[in-house]
Amino acid sequence: MHLRVAPRADSRVLRAALILTCVVQAAWVMGCRADPSDQFTAEWMIDPSPPAAGGDLIVLVTLRDNAQMPVLGAQLHLEGQMSHPGMAPVVTDFKERGGGVYEGHLKLTMAGDWTLVATGELRGGVRLVKQLDLPGVRGSTG
C-alpha cells in the first residue's frame, strides 16, 4: 500500500471536504431519527365525557399537519388499553368523516385507568401513533 501526502493547500481542501461530509451525514442521521408522527397533531374528543365503563364511547380524532391543514386518507385503528397487566385491549377501526376528522367506537369493559392509542398509516406511508390517557374511568351507572 502506498500513501501519498498531499501538499498543504490540497490538505486544506481535503480537510474541508471531510468536515462537510461529516456535517451532512450527521444531519441526515438526525433527520432519520426524527419521529415522522411528530409532524402531525391529534386533537381528541370523547363522548360521553367523562367516559363510563360498559357504554359506547365515541372517539373523534382530528389530525392536522404542522401547517394546520387537515390530514386526509389515513388508515387508522383505535385501541383501548387498561393500565394493569393481563387485560385484553379493546380495538376498532376509525372511519374518516372528512376535514381530517376520524371517528371510532369502543366499549370500555371495566372501570379504571385506560389509555387510548390511535395507530395507522397516512398517505405516503408515514406511520402514526398518538395516545390519550383516560384516568379514572367510572363504572356503569345502570
- In the chain, domain spans: 1-34, 36-137
Secondary structure of residue 94 in the 3-state scheme: coil
CA gyration radius, the chain: 24
- For domain 36-137, give its CATH number from 1.10.260.40, 1.10.10.10, 3.30.70.20, 2.60.40.1930: 2.60.40.1930
Taking the alpha carbons of 14, 15, 20, 23 in that order, is the dihedral positive or negative? positive
pLDDT tens, 56-100? 999 999 999 989 999 999 999 999 999 877 888 999 999 999 999
To the nearest whole percent, how much of the chain has pLDDT over 90?
58
CA angle (105, 115, 58) in 5-degree steps: 20
Residue 8 pLDDT greater than 80, yes or no:
no
What CA–CA distance (Å, rounded) separates 112 from 23?
49
